[in-house]
């Protein structure tokens, strides 16, 4: 059996779909479906069982067995970067991760978890070293805290494990994320409503729409997870991005090219985001490449086209 936490979420559901494509269906999906709209993400997936997140946590605390488990893919977290309830964030992102790590160690289960590029905050270098880690929000800090926790115990951990610092992931099955869905999703929705795509004016020395992020298509993220499970390279924390920053303007132009109409409109930069917004990210993926991961990553133009084709094929 494989366990996927956050299995009805964005990356988790894509991971289940990727596992299905490789022939895996003995999957326990863990999530919280209080927002029942998320069911659509796993409606076309093959899973063996579903369990509510709180029931799962209770079972883990009681050391209940789920039978032979081949790996835990821990994607469950609160990923809202504008959330400032630190107590809730620590419970969801830090304590939950600690609990699963120790359970995995006790039961000798490979453990692969989602970290985030948010740990780098305002840094201008994006390498997996403490000197470049300075989060701008409590979400980023909650992710960094667990990275630090597992680093301190790395010498004691005998199971295969890896932490993945996801950069800006976009693609299918993110519609439930609301404001936290990718810019590609939001610009597409604007254009479906016969609006022009809207981007922020300049910030942090970048011109209008010229803020740059390392945008990575979700299928590439899934491939990294599956490769690590299959190959079990060096236990460590890894950046998962394309290694190439591209501007928000480039995403908008890819959508304009796809739709065949539209013109970018620039809107004032929100005051609430000043001082806690990453205007530039670009993953250093040398560590990922050094352990043998050689797959090519999709560019924004390639990924956006694939995403649009997927959305247009859905009702």
Active site residue 87: no
Helix axes 183-192, 300-312, angle to 10 degrees: 50
User: Rounded to an integer, what distance in angstroms lies between the CA atom of residue 94 and that of residue 71?
Assistant: 20
User: Rounded to an integer, what distance in angstroms lies between the CA atom of residue 274 and that of residue 272?
Assistant: 6
H helix or E strand, kind and range, residue 164: strand 161-166
Active site residue 177: yes
Structure tokens at 256: 């304009």
The dihedrals phi and psi of 7, each to the nearest 5 degrees, come to -65, -20
Structure tokens at 139: 């979400």
CB within 8 Å of 143: residues ≥ 6 apart: 77, 93, 115, 116, 118, 119, 135
CB within 8 Å of 144: residues ≥ 6 apart: 115, 119, 133, 135
Question: How far, in whole angstroms, is CA 74 from its chain's centroid?
Answer: 11
> What's the full length of the chain, in residues?
315
| Active-site hit among 98, 177, 266, 293 | 177
CB within 8 Å of 197: residues ≥ 6 apart: 187, 190, 191, 252, 255, 256, 262, 264, 265
| Active-site hit among 103, 112, 120, 139 | 139
User: Rounded to an integer, what distance in angstroms lies between the CA atom of residue 79 and that of residue 93?
Assistant: 9
Tokens 């404001």 belong to residue: 179
H helix or E strand, kind and range, residue 148: helix 138-152
CB within 8 Å of 256: residues ≥ 6 apart: 191, 197, 262, 263, 264
User: Rounded to an integer, what distance in angstroms lies between the CA atom of residue 119 and that of residue 297?
Assistant: 22
The residues carrying an active-site annotation are: 139, 177
């Amino acid at each position: 059996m494989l366990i996927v936490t956050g299995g009805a979420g964005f990356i988790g559901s894509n991971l289940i779909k990727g596992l299905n494509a490789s022939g895996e269906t003995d999957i326990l999906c863990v999530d919280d479906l209080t927002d029942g709209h998320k069911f659509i993400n796993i409606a076309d997936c093959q899973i063996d069982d579903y369990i509510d997140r709180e029931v799962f946590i209770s079972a883990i605390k009681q050391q209940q067995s789920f039978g032979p488990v081949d790996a835990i893919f821990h994607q469950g977290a609160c990923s809202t970067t504008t959330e400032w309830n630190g107590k809730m964030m620590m419970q969801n992102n830090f304590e939950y991760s600690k609990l699963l790590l120790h359970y995995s160690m006790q039961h000798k289960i490979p453990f692969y978890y989602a970290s985030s590029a948010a740990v780098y905050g305002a840094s201008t270098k994006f390498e997996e070293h403490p000197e470049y880690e300075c989060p701008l929000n409590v979400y980023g800090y909650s992710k960094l805290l667990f990275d630090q926790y597992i680093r301190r115990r790395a010498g004691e951990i005998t199971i295969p494990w890896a932490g993945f610092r996801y950069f800006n992931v976009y693609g299918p099955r993110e519609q439930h994320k609301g404001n936290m869905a990718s810019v590609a999703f939001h610009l597409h929705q604007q254009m479906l409503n016969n609006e022009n795509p809207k981007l922020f004016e300049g910030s942090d020395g970048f011109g209008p729409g010229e803020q740059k992020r390392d945008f990575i298509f979700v299928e590439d993220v899934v491939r990294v997870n599956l490769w690590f499970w299959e190959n079990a390279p060096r236990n460590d924390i890894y950046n998962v991005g394309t290694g190439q920053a591209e501007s928000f303007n480039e995403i908008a132009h890819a959508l304009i090219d796809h739709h065949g109409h539209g013109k970018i409109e620039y809107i004032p930069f929100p005051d609430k985001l000043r001082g806690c917004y990453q205007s530039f990210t670009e993953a250093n993926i040398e560590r990922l490449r050094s352990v043998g991961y050689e797959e090519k990553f999709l560019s924004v133009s390639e990924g956006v086209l694939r995403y649009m084709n997927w959305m247009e094929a859905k009702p």
